[in-house]
Amino acid sequence: MFNARPDRPWLPAEPSERLLRVEITVPRPEGGQARKPVHLSLVIDRSGSMSGEKLRLALEAARQAIRTLQPGDRFSVVTFDHQVEVPIPSTDATPGARLRAEAALDTVIARGNTDLGGGWLRGCAEVGAHLPEDAIGRVLLLTDGQANHGITSPDELTSRARSQRLRRVTTSTIGLGEGFNEFLLGRLSEEGGGNFYFAARADELPGFVGREIGEVLSVVARDAALVIRAPGGVEVESLNDYPCTRDGGTCSFSLGSLPGGMVLAPMFRLRFPAGAIAETLVIDVALADRDGALSKEPWTLAWPRVAEEQARAQPADPEVLRAAAALDAARARRVALGLNDDRLWKEAASALTDAASRLRGYADGDPEIRAEADRLDAERDAYSRPMSSLSKKNHYYDATMAMKMGGRGRARPGPRVLGVPTDARLAPLLRTASQALGGVKGAPAFDVDVPFQGAPIPAGPLSQRGEDELAAYADSLDPGALKVVFVEQPLLDRWFSHWHLGYRTAVISLAGLDQLISLPAASFVAYELLLYGLHALSADYEPAKLLHTETLACLFDLCQQKADVAIKLQAGHVCAGCLEKLSTVGLDRDVVTQLWRAVQALAQSGT
């Protein structure tokens, strides 16, 4: 899908501004279509501050990333402290190379200072040296510290990120903990055409690395750009702050390399000069990418100039105004955070005041926009005094994600569980199960994705590698949600399900279910959505620690005899011991009990 929507269709004779919202849905790959080869470099900070759990989990995340690659891909690992080393030079991702890489990672230890620039540029060189025309080049930089050795200038590093992107070597960054420079890593990823992630805790690293690799493996449109051609005198500004190349009246905004199924909503502010009534100004909006995957047909928008009274009376599109307000607010917060970081307290407060005034100027009575302006006013005091490092990073990450996602922030409010059917025949079961669970107050939001095409599902039993590839693919569909993927073939160990921590994704097999139980299949689907969906409500929840071998008709019965699952599906019971353990990890007993009873109702419904 590709379309363009202005906030208003007419222009007055005097100088004026208009908003333009572009909506893009990247097509998913067609069934059987091979993905593009990936050339990946993992650049890992090994300085002294990374010692212990940080480095251990960073290296484990690197191992998981390497395991998802296939022959035809290439990978390298670069480590840096005050020195840059390449324990794994760029190599084909053969099974033997992946095994040797795991052994090489075991030798990495923490030490020294942080030559962030040198390590990152060496990773870029490893990718660029072997990058063919049809491949995706990506460097993933992981650090917990400041660039305090070698190249340290943010402007110099950002300039080099832009140059690397033009050579088709893109950069994503992960900042860990409280000691890194979020402004530098954010700019590197934006100019480098990749993503920025903030991991407050080391145990979040595998999930972010898995999310990044899943996205890269799903890219269908490399080097995507949105091109706007405007008449002379018309200024075009990206409210998402996309990198822009200008040539006369043509502005090309870099969108990066886009995975299939991704939804974008770029927003622009157009400033028109004065002109004569009855004049019409025409703007073309088009998409371009290296692979020809995006729409070829441009949108043409025409703004006729009308009398001032008519222009003032025209209604505005409220959705366009609200999206612009969310982006204006996010941009203002990022500016204010930069001023706060420079200890310019008064200027930081003024940035929010000015943004709130701007929002009220075009709110046109809209309560959502007025509420956003009120929030900016309410935040002014916090931005006008020293902030903790963690608070600044959280605010910066939220604002950055809002800008990247068209004002939507990190994710829709509240925890979410996304059921993913790998075949259209499974979708009705997931919808029935999700609706039953979604009616419980305090539950996560249960959604169902459309059945995706081109998923890496081999014939026959699904191996560990096949599951990893499927989990990585699913993770790219909606990075904000926990995913539960349902397949029709058996898993290699003939078990029902497996949890893939790095991707926050469970893979569930429905093979042979109708021969094991005579209950509605939707009740089993709801059970699996509940069992793994509780991860969305508690980071400390681990169902494996609750499972017991004794059959008590409890949610957490292990069911070594698979047919015993029918017993617990009909019982709607959680034993006292499990309820106590759920409380210790912050889960509400009543919510879990009500969810389990919803599963029981499905089991007893006979439908």
Q: Give me the sign of the Cα torsion angle 469, 85, 194, 284.
A: negative
- Kindly report which listed range (11-20, 330-339, 394-403) carries the lowest average pLDDT score: 394-403
Q: For all residues of the chain together, what is the average pLDDT?
A: 87
> Where residue 452 falls among pLDDT bands split at 50, 70, 90?
low
Taking every pair of Cα atoms in the chain, the longest distance, rounded to a whole number of angstroms, is: 83
- The number of angstroms, rounded, from the C-alpha of 43 to the middle of its chain's C-alpha atoms is 20
Q: Which of 193, 217, 241 is the last residue of a domain?
A: 217
Report if residue 409 sits inside a domain.
Answer: no
Decide: 426 and 451 in contact? Cβ < 8 Å.
yes
Q: What average pLDDT does this structure show over 525-534?
A: 92
Q: Which of 376, 404, 432 is the last residue of a domain?
A: 404
Residue 344's pLDDT is 95
User: What pTM, to 2 d.p., does this model score?
Assistant: 0.67
Helices 521-533 and 589-603: crossing angle in degrees, nearest 10, is 160
Report if residue 563 sits inside a domain.
Answer: yes
Pair (424, 490) in one structural domain: yes
Report if residue 434 sits inside a domain.
Answer: yes
Pair (57, 145) in one structural domain: yes
Residue 415 clears pLDDT 70, i.e. is over it: no
Residue 182 clears pLDDT 60, i.e. is over it: yes
Decide: 280 and 304 in contact? Cβ < 8 Å.
yes
Backbone dihedral angles phi then psi of residue 478, each to the nearest 5 degrees: -155, 90
Pair (293, 440) in one structural domain: no
Pair (348, 454) in one structural domain: no
Please report, rounded to a whole number, the percentage of residues in the chain having pLDDT higher than 70: 94
Residue 477's pLDDT is 64
Pair (387, 463) in one structural domain: no
Pair (436, 579) in one structural domain: yes
Kindly give, in sequence order, each residue whose CB lies less than 8 Å from that of residue 308, ignoring residues fewer than 6 positions away.
Answer: 12, 13, 14
Number of domains within the chain: 4
Which of 567, 472, 500, 560 has the alpha carbon at shortest distance from 527?
567
Decide: 170 and 164 in contact? Cβ < 8 Å.
yes
Model confidence pLDDT, tens digit, residues 292-316: 889 888 999 999 999 989 988 898 9
- Kindly report which listed range (1-5, 75-79, 110-114, 192-196) carries the lowest average pLDDT score: 110-114
Structure-block tokens of residue 388: 């903790």
Quick check: helix, strand or coil at residue 523? helix
Residue 55 clears pLDDT 70, i.e. is over it: yes
Pair (228, 334) in one structural domain: no
Q: What average pLDDT does this structure show over 528-549?
A: 87
- Kindly report which listed range (29-33, 55-59, 195-199, 208-212) carries the lowest average pLDDT score: 29-33
Residue 454's pLDDT is 47
Residue 125's pLDDT is 94
Kindly give, in sequence order, each residue whose CB lies less than 8 Å from that of residue 536, ignoring residues fewer than 6 positions away.
Answer: 415, 416, 417, 444, 481, 482
> Where residue 154 falls among pLDDT bands split at 50, 70, 90?
confident
CATH of residue 580's domain is 3.40.390
Backbone dihedral angles phi then psi of residue 9, each to the nearest 5 degrees: -90, -10
Pair (17, 56) in one structural domain: no
Kindly give, in sequence order, each residue whose CB lies less than 8 Å from that of residue 396, ignoring residues fewer than 6 positions away.
Answer: 182, 183, 186, 198, 334, 337
Place of tokens 């991707």: 503
Pair (340, 480) in one structural domain: no
Report if residue 411 sits inside a domain.
Answer: no
- Kindly report which listed range (24-38, 356-370, 402-416) carries the lowest average pLDDT score: 402-416
Model confidence pLDDT, tens digit, residues 90-103: 999 999 998 899 88
Decide: 237 and 269 in contact? Cβ < 8 Å.
yes
Residue type, 525: V
Encode 308-331: b = buried (16+ Cβ within 10 Å), e = exposed. eeebeeeebeeebbbbbbbbbbbb
Q: What average pLDDT does this structure show over 420-439?
A: 85
Distance CA 253, CA 257 (A): 12
Which of 193, 191, 267 has the alpha carbon at shortest distance from 236?
267
Pair (10, 91) in one structural domain: no
Residue 88's pLDDT is 92
Residue 516's pLDDT is 81
Residue 33 clears pLDDT 80, i.e. is over it: no
CATH of residue 188's domain is 3.40.50.410
Model confidence pLDDT, tens digit, residues 456-510: 566 678 888 788 778 877 776 665 578 899 988 899 888 889 998 777 889 999 9
Residue 410's pLDDT is 44
Decide: 270 and 236 in contact? Cβ < 8 Å.
yes
Pair (371, 457) in one structural domain: no
Residue 234 clears pLDDT 90, i.e. is over it: yes
Which domain, by its residues, includes 492?
A: 416-603
Residue type, 170: T
Model confidence pLDDT, tens digit, residues 581-595: 998 888 888 899 999
- Residue 82: exposure state from Cβ atoms within 10 A (0-12, 13-18, ≥19): middle
Place of tokens 């191996």: 463
Report if residue 410 sits inside a domain.
Answer: no
Residue type, 258: L
Q: Which of 307, 331, 349 is the last residue of a domain?
A: 307
> Where residue 266 falls among pLDDT bands split at 50, 70, 90?
very high
Report if residue 21 sits inside a domain.
Answer: yes
Report if residue 538 sits inside a domain.
Answer: yes
Report if residue 517 sits inside a domain.
Answer: yes
**DSSP letter, residue 163:** H
Pair (436, 492) in one structural domain: yes
Residue 413 clears pLDDT 50, i.e. is over it: no
CATH of residue 7's domain is 2.60.40.3670
Residue 218 clears pLDDT 90, i.e. is over it: no
